[in-house]
Amino acid sequence: MLKQISGHAKLDFPDECCGIILSDGEQDFLRQCTNIQNQLHLEDPSVYPRDARTAYQIDPKELLEICKESEAKSRPIKAFYHSHPNHHAYFSEKDKADATMWDEPLYPDASYIVIPVYGGNSEEQILGNIRVYTWDLNIGDYLESEIESSDG
Amino acid sequence: MSVIVRIPTPLRKLTQNKPEVEVSGKNIESLIDNLETNYPGIKERIYDEANNIRRFVNIYLNDEDIRFLEGKSTAVNDGDEVSIIPAIAGGILNSSQLGK
């Protein structure tokens, strides 16, 4: 799964990629999504000053279909993933704010996976260490864990 | 009009954990008002202080985003399905530096 999402991160570089991982407890199901941030930025730059290089929003129509699949096939959302082009992985204030609307995590059981991918102007992208953020009920915040990069 | 409203996971604690509820109303706005009557607290999560649907709350009538229809005035028919989908988004840097 990490290989696939890393591949997605490289493919969408220099834009942030995004997606969802569902799980039925035995198997994980990857659902790559479309980052509509460029479209939002073009339509209304005053409301959306960032483009897809520094922000992401999952296409809500894809999100709807994935939520329907999640319900219909009993595959709860295990994680959301997105990449950071030319940035190390961290859970920014914006990431946290967008994940915790209405003062609570939107999906307390889902982790947030952040994949750093560096490329600059070269054609070859290199992955950094992936970090995973999981909501901890006891401390009321996201806890970080790290996975070493597969790109040496 | 009797319509099925799909409730997103984060709002289910307001609807006794029901993932779907049947609601009456002639348009999106009246559906939300009626939802609020039966499940108090849901309206303030969907609307901001100016009574507009919050930017991060996507509402679909069947498979169409109501932003491309008539927004909260969009009429609904018997048997329609309305889905409330909070956006999944994020970005690098601090939110104070750039807009949401």
Q: What are the sequence ranges of the domains in chain A? A: 2-147
Which candidate, A49, A54, A42, places its Cα nearest to that of A14? A54
CATH of domain A2-147: 3.40.140.10
- Ranges of residues in chain B with a pLDDT under 50 are 95-100
Which candidate, B89, B91, B60, B63, places its Cα nearest to that of A58? B89
Mean predicted confidence (pLDDT) in A18-24:
96
Single pTM value for the model: 0.88
Minimum CA–CA partner of B45 in chain A? A102
From CA A39, how far away is CA A28, in angstroms rounded? Answer: 30
Residue of A17, A93, A107 for testing the chain B interface, max B β-carbons within 10 Å: A93
Distance from the Cα of A48 to chain B's closest Cα (Å) equals 6
How many Cα atoms sit within 13 Å of A23 on the Cβ side? 13
Predicted pLDDT at A121: 59
How many C-beta atoms surround the C-beta of residue A122 within 10 A? 8
Predicted pLDDT at A150: 64
Phi (first) and psi of residue A79, to 5 degrees: -160, 155
Segment A56-78, tens digit of pLDDT: 999 999 999 999 899 899 999 99
CB of B17 within 8 Å of any CB in chain A?
Answer: no
Instruction: Give A95's contacts (C-beta < 8 A, 6+ positions apart).
Output: A112, A114, A133, B90, B91
CB of A48 within 8 Å of any CB in chain B?
Answer: yes
Mean predicted confidence (pLDDT) in A36-57:
94
Q: Pick the residue with more confidence: A18 or A140?
A: A18
Predicted pLDDT at B100: 41
| Chain A partners within 8 Å of B52 (Cβ) | none
Segment A119-139, tens digit of pLDDT: 865 667 888 899 999 999 888
Mean predicted confidence (pLDDT) in A19-48:
95
From CA A16, how far away is CA A83, in angstroms rounded? Answer: 5
CATH of domain B2-86: 3.10.20.30
